[in-house]
Amino acid sequence: MALEIDFTQLGIDLGGGALIGGIVGFAAKKLAKVIAVIIGLELALFKFLESQQILTVDWERLTAGMVGAGQAAASQTPPNWVMTILETLSISAGFTGGFLLGFKKG
């Protein structure tokens, strides 16, 4: 069984994936910064309102919900990932490299 590889298409897939990954990575980092600021301000506001005895926050329950969600995600069984990786390797490799570069530069 001979494996025919079209290097032109492979290069286009890799380059296109890298370009899209770079754009998404750059945007993801910018969005992550905005979300982090919003969450930080919200938590600071909760703490301030709690110190003024205007609001009562159950911090244990708040963190238990986050830990429970992480454990639920970790217990999921992965799908047939070997075939998925082999089918999308060129695009995903380019996307991953571009995403990391865009995220670092963002």
Q: How many residues does the chain have?
A: 106
Residue 67, pLDDT score = 59
Residue 18, pLDDT score = 83
- Cα separation values, 30 from 23, 55, 106, Å: 11, 31, 6
Residue 38, pLDDT score = 87
Say whether 4 sits in a helix, a strand or coil. coil
Residue 56, pLDDT score = 86
pLDDT tens, per residue, the chain with 106 residues = 556 777 787 788 888 888 888 888 888 888 988 888 888 888 788 888 888 888 887 777 766 666 556 666 666 555 565 656 555 666 667 777 777 777 777 7
